[in-house]
């Protein structure tokens, strides 16, 4: 027996020129919750994928329970008692809970599936760990929190002793997060060992015993949670001091600029996604829309930008109707838009940074010649040079392909472009999703700067802390409707959490 | 810089590998590959008529290669160049032989009308995709059948030389004043080659200098992002498909007006230029100037093959094998890329 349940020593892994893991050490005791934190690209996922047998390490050794092991496949990892709960669940939505759990280890003989035995096995596991679930429920009918529970049960069923959680709270409501913490504590009581990957510092302080920080593929240090503060961890993650204070300048809001009146919008499947939604945003005000992903936020934002057909209702800017117009006309009417999905909607990855900085205004501000048919490349690259400096986009090389930038810098390019457009309204949808701490700080300050310039700003985010930090008013969206709207000073995480799951506030 | 070197090297190595493989095949036939390739080269480049023959073979491939490459930049796979070539040829044959009007009967106006015919025919597929979401591969294949049957009908009925009782399915010769000028005396090399080069420059200019080209490329790389930025992606798809069709149609016009088929549309004159255009675009890396080089290479292979067959007694079909191997290697380019990257990587470290 060894003191450590899991030891990874001197792990290195490179992809081409990129050193994703550089000589990383990790030692976790039995019964410990170990948080592994780091910015995007710090090497957390690579390290965990090595542990789970998805990548072979270039060098380094792994010990499980004191024995040196080599983990070539996820199957080998499972046999060693290592199981991973992925951020994006590995479930077949059309199958039942029991069918999902036995996938790969189906009970039965002669090629026949013994469904009763499967059900028994599921019940046994779920009773053993006190994680109640209906084995016959269809996975697609379960809430996200329950689906995660199925994932956890699935790896427990396969005999996991070391459980790796990859950003498990990203998709959960605050209440579901609390429930997950309870489950984790129970698993620890049962003698399991937990690795918890995250970049949310509040979670780290709440659930972890020990914290390992990675930075740019290297081991940046380790500390016990008792000695840790948010600032300390953030400094280790970024390598410099991070200020959590935002530069909030008091602004007296003006008249309503963006008005949404009784809006109805359908989803791709033709079902109502936004129902009878009304909201107004004033100049010099940030309104935050909180809510679990998939409650109509995407459809709302697409409708505001003319990307999705409006079934009924009206959208006005400064009293002028923009609903039913094409995206270009809406943009010209004064809406800037930071799309939620950077790769899908926001930018053309293969284009250089300079081209992406002008996407949407290329035909007006950067066109020249006969009937403005030609592009003015000198101006495009000249302005790109300036904006790279102004918005601290690194590397400041406008000719570099967009997709070669880090996530944070890609998002800065998108934000810079939208800020440079002439606009009255800024719609920021998940403005800091998948972005490192340094860039989050910068983007938040840019949005607050916008507010000081009397723009009307709508922030849609699944990240509750972001909504709480930025907003003057907070609206909660649930099943396509705004079921509560309150001033920032009246809002608490509990209140919003209750509304996010469709609950009602007493008072 | 390294990237540019790589994208240049991959086609060159593909061609070299194909020639080596075929040399082995020629050895198995009991022939001398060096001798065969000597006559291949001689037939392609030795003397005025050899060069003319190479360029004549290359000209329609430049057009169809440009057509495929241009559509590809908009994210569209135009399988329908074959049909668009036929439509261009039929338009040229009909206008050139039957319309008596000084306004229509001049080369410039003919070119414009042929472009319009190709534009409209290809834009059908673009419209189907933009408005109804029909995949362009399906619709262009179907439109190829439409064009092939149209050719049969036109050459057997309305355009048939000598009316219904005429001897064979072919159109009458076009009038002299719409025929393309000869640019190399004693050969069939005509002004169509110059127009093809101009088309390559136009394609390059549209793609790299114009607002429209920027938008077409944005749609090709990432349509949702283009839509988000206010670009009307439906119109861009239709336009890109139409321009692509115009390039292809000019290939048909060149075959009819350039004196290749005795200044008339003969049944089957359009061979497989449309499909060969896909290979040319692939080899040219979808770059307009790359297409010109690739088309001339394919033209040279075809021109040289005849001499190779005549002098070295190696069947000219061997060059079809060369072409096929080139296509397979380019399509599987990642294998190469990987090997080459390692090669350059190690060199950089050494």
pLDDT tens for each residue of B338-348: 666 666 655 54
Instruction: Give chain B positions within 8 Å (CB) of A359.
Output: 218, 225-226, 229
Do B257 and B154 meet the contact criterion of CB atoms below 8 Å apart? Answer: no
Inside any domain, residue B164: yes
d(CA B279, CA B281): 5
What is the mean predicted confidence (pLDDT) over A144-153? 89
First to last CA, chain A: 57
Q: Does A312 touch chain B (CB under 8 A)?
A: no
Q: Give the three-state DSSP class for B102.
A: coil
Whether B6 maps to a domain, the answer reads no
Please report residues of B whose CB lies closer than 8 A to that of A363.
Answer: 211, 215
Tell me if B120 sits within 8 A of B146, measured CB to CB. no
Answer yes or no: are the C-beta atoms of A241 and A248 closer than 8 Å. no
More confident residue, A375 or B100: A375
| Span A264-282, average pLDDT | 93
Q: Given A326, A327, A363, which is nearest B211 (Cβ)?
A: A363
A419 and A409 in contact (C-beta within 8 Å)? no
Tell me what percent of the residues of chain B surpass a pLDDT of 70: 93
pLDDT-derived band at B111, boundaries 50, 70, 90: very high
Q: Within a 13 Å sphere around the CA of B249, how many CA atoms are in the beta-carbon half?
A: 27
Chain A environment of B222 (Cβ under 8 Å): 344, 347-350
C-alpha B140 chain-centroid distance: 16
- Split at pLDDT 50, 70, 90, the class of B3 is low
Work out the burial of residue B57: count CB atoms within 10 Å of its CB; fewer than 13 is exposed, 13-18 middle, 19 or more buried. Answer: buried
The helix or strand, by DSSP H or E, that contains position A463, with its residue range, turns out to be none
Give pLDDT, residue A242.
Answer: 67
Contact B230 A360 (CB under 8 A): yes
Kindly determine whether residue B229 and residue A375, on different chains, have CB atoms separated by under 8 Å. Answer: no
Q: Nearest-CA neighbor of B125 among B152, B94, B146?
A: B146
pLDDT beyond 60 at B1 = no
In a domain, B334, yes or no: no
Residue of A48, A160, A140, A124 lying closest to A89 (CA atoms): A140
Between B340 and A321, whose confidence is greater? Answer: A321
What ipTM was assigned to the predicted interfaces of this complex? Answer: 0.85
Mean of the pLDDT values across residues A242-254?
78
| Shortest distance, CA B95 to any CA of chain A (angstroms) | 32
Element (H, E) at B194: helix B191-209
Which is more confident, A171 or A433? A433
Kindly indicate the confidence band of residue B128, based on its pLDDT and cuts at 50, 70 and 90.
very high
Strand partners, A67: A64
- Going by pLDDT thresholds of 50, 70 and 90, the confidence category of residue B349 is very low
Q: Do B227 and A373 touch (CB under 8 A)?
A: no
Q: Do B225 and A348 touch (CB under 8 A)?
A: yes
Cβ-in-10-Å burial (0-12, 13-18, 19+) of A223 comes to: middle
User: CA separation (Å) from B277 to A53, A404, B191, B272?
Assistant: 45, 32, 20, 9
Model pLDDT, residue B5: 67
3-class secondary-structure state, position A134: coil
Q: At residue A343, what are phi and psi to the nearest 5 degrees? A: -80, -35
In a domain, B112, yes or no: yes
Mean pLDDT of chain B: 90
A405-458: per-residue pLDDT in tens? 877 889 999 999 999 999 999 999 999 887 877 788 889 999 999 999 999 999
Residue A144 and residue A295: Cα distance in Å, rounded? 13
What confidence tens digit (pLDDT) does each residue in B319-344 have?
A: 999 999 988 888 887 666 666 666 66
In a domain, B83, yes or no: yes
Band (A375; pLDDT cuts 50, 70, 90) = very high
Nearest by CB to B228, which of A339, A351, A375? A339
Please answer whether residues B230 and A326 qualify as being in contact, where contact means their C-beta atoms are separated by less than 8 angstroms. yes
pLDDT surpasses 50 at A152: yes
Judge whether B291 lies within some domain.
no
The C-alpha atoms of residue A485 and residue A285 are separated, in whole angstroms, by 14
CA-based max dimension of chain B: 77
User: Residue A307: which of B217, B218, B228 has the nearest Cβ?
Assistant: B228
For residue B203, tell me if it sits in a domain. Answer: yes
d(CA A462, CA A444) in angstroms, rounded, equals: 15
Residue A494 confidence (pLDDT): 85
> How crowded is residue A181: how many other Cβ atoms within 10 Å of its Cβ?
15
Residue A345 has its nearest CB partner, among B211, B225, B341, at B225
CA A470 – CA A446 distance, rounded (Å)? 11
By the CB < 8 Å criterion, does A331 face chain B? Answer: yes
Sheet strand arrangement including A335-338 = A335-338, A425-429, A456-460, A285-290, A473-478, A481-487
Cα of first residue to Cα of last residue in chain B, in angstroms, is 18
Task: For each of the domains in chain A, give its residue range(s) and CATH number, in order of start.
Answer: 4-238 (3.40.50.300), 256-500 (3.40.50.300)
Quick check: A8 pLDDT over 90?
yes
Interface of B with A (CB under 8 A): 209-212, 214-215, 217-218, 221-222, 224-232, 341
Quick one: average pLDDT of A213-235? 87
Averaged over B12-38, what is the pLDDT? 93
Distance of residue A265 Cα from the nearest chain B Cα, in angstroms: 17
Domain of B265?
A: 56-283
Percentage of chain A lying above the pLDDT 70 cut = 98
| Beta-sheet pairing, A33-37 with A210-215 | parallel
Show Cβ contacts of residue B10 under 8 Å, excluding neighbours closer than 6 positions: B330, B333, B336, B337, B340
A328/B230 Cβ within 8 A: yes
* Chain-chain contact of A355 with B214 (C-beta, under 8 angstroms): yes
Structural domain tally of chain B? 1
Does residue B70 surpass a pLDDT of 90?
yes
Task: Round to whole Å and give the CA distance between A457 and A449.
Answer: 11
**Residue B105 — very low, low, confident or very high, per pLDDT cuts 50/70/90?**
confident
Render B255-279 in DSSP notation, one character per residue.
HHHTTTTTTS-BTTTTTTHHHHHHH
Residue B350: which pLDDT band, with cuts at 50, 70 and 90? very low
Is residue B343 domain-resident?
Answer: no
Instruction: Express each pLDDT in A325-346 by its tens digit.
Output: 999 999 999 999 999 988 889 9
For range B252-276, the mean pLDDT: 89
Confidence of residue A502 (pLDDT cuts 50, 70, 90): confident
Does residue B134 have a pLDDT over 80?
A: yes
**Which member of B218, B224, B231 has the closest CB to residue A344?**
B224
Backbone angle region of A251, left / alpha / beta, with phi > 0 → left and psi within -120 to 50 → alpha: beta
Chain A residues whose beta carbon lies within 8 Å of the beta carbon of residue B227: 307, 327
Q: Is any Cβ of chain B less than 8 angstroms from the Cβ of A349?
A: yes
Q: Which residue has the higher pLDDT, B191 or A40?
A: B191
Residue B179, H or E segment: none
Cβ A452 vs Cβ A249: under 8 Å: yes
């Amino acid at each position: 027996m060894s003191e450590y349940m899991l030891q990874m020593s001197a792990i290195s892994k490179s992809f081409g020129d990129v050193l994703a893991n550089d000589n990383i050490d990790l030692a976790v005791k039995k019964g410990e919750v170990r948080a592994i934190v780091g910015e995007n690209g710090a090497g957390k996922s690579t390290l965990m994928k090595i542990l789970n047998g998805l990548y072979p390490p270039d060098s380094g050794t792994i010990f499980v329970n004191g024995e040196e092991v080599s983990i070539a496949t996820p199957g080998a990892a499972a046999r060693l008692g290592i199981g991973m709960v992925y951020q994006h669940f590995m479930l077949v939505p059309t199958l039942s809970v029991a069918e999902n759990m036995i996938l790969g280890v189906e009970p039965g003989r002669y090629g026949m599936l013994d469904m009763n035995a499967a059900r028994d096995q599921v019940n046994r596991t779920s009773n053993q760990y006190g994680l109640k679930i209906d084995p016959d429920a269809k996975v697609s009918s379960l809430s996200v929190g329950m689906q995660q529970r199925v994932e956890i049960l699935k790896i427990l069923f396969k005999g996991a002793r070391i459980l790796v959680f990859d950003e498990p709270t990203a998709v959960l409501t605050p209440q579901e997060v609390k429930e997950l913490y309870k489950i984790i504590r129970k698993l620890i009581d049962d003698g399991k060992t937990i690795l918890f990957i995250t970049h949310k510092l509040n979670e780290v302080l709440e659930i972890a015993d020990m914290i390992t920080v990675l930075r740019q593929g290297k081991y940046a240090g380790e500390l016990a949670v008792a000695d840790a503060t948010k600032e300390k961890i953030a400094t280790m993650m970024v390598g410099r001091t991070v200020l959590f204070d935002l530069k909030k300048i008091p602004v007296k809001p003006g008249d309503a600029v963006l008005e949404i009146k009784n809006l109805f919008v359908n989803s791709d499947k033709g079902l109502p996604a936004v129902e009878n939604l009304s909201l107004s945003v004033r100049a010099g005000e940030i309104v935050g829309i909180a809510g679990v992903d998939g409650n109509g936020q995407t459809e709302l934002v697409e409708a505001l930008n003319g990307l999705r057909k409006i079934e009924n209702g009206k959208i006005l800017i400064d009293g002028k109707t923009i609903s039913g117009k094409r995206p270009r006309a809406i943009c010209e009417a004064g809406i800037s838009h930071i799309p939620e999905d950077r790769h899908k909607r926001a930018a053309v990855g293969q284009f250089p940074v300079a081209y992406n900085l002008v996407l949407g205004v290329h035909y007006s501000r950067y066109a020249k010649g006969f009937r403005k048919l030609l592009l003015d490349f000198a101006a495009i690259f000249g302005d790109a040079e300036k904006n790279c400096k102004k918005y601290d986009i690194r590397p400041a090389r406008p000719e570099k392909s967009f997709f070669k930038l880090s996530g944070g810098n890609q998002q800065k390019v998108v934000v810079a472009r939208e800020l440079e457009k002439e606009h009255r309204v800024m719609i920021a949808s998940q403005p800091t999703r998948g972005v490192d701490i340094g860039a989050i700080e910068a983007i938040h300050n840019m949005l607050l700067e916008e507010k000081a310039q009397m723009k009307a700003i709508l922030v849609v985010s699944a990240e509750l802390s972001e909504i709480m930090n930025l907003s003057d008013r907070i609206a909660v969206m649930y099943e396509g409707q705004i079921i509560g709207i309150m001033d920032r000073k009246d809002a608490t995480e509990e209140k919003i959490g209750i509304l996010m799951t469709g609950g009602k506030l007493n008072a | 810089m390294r990237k540019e070197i790589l994208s240049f090297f991959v086609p060159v190595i593909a061609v070299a590998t194909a020639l080596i493989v075929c040399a082995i095949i020629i050895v198995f036939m009991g022939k001398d590959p060096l001798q065969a390739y000597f006559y291949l080269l001689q037939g392609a480049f030795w003397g005025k008529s050899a060069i003319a023959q190479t360029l004549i073979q290359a000209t329609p491939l430049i057009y169809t290669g440009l057509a495929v490459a241009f559509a590809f930049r908009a994210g569209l796979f135009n399988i329908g160049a074959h049909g668009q070539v036929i439509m261009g040829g039929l338009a040229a044959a009909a206008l050139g032989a039957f319309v008596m009007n000084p306004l229509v009967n001049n080369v410039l106006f003919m070119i414009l009308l042929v472009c319009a015919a190709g534009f409209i025919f290809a834009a059908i597929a673009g419209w189907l995709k933009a408005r109804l979401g029909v995949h362009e591969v399906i619709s262009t294949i179907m439109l190829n059948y439409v064009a092939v049957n149209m050719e049969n009908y036109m050459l057997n009925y309305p355009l048939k030389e000598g009316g219904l009782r005429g001897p064979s399915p072919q159109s009458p010769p076009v009038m002299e004043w719409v025929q393309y000028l000869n640019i190399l005396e004693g050969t069939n090399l005509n002004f169509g080659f110059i127009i093809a080069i101009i088309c390559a420059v136009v394609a390059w200019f549209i793609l790299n200098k114009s607002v429209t080209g920027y938008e077409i490329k944005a749609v090709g790389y990432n349509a949702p992002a283009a839509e988000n930025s206010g670009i009307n992606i439906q119109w861009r798809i239709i336009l890109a498909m139409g321009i692509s069709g115009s390039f292809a149609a000019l290939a048909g016009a060149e075959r009819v007006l350039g004196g290749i088929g005795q200044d008339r549309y003969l049944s089957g004159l359009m061979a497989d230029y449309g499909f060969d255009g896909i290979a040319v675009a692939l080899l040219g890396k979808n770059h307009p100037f790359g297409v010109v080089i690739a088309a001339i290479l394919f033209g040279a292979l075809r021109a040289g093959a005849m001499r190779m067959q005549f002098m070295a007694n190696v069947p000219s079909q061997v060059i079809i094998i060369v072409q096929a191997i080139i296509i397979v290697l380019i399509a599987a380019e990642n294998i190469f890329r990987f090997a080459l990257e390692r090669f350059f990587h190690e060199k950089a470290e050494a």
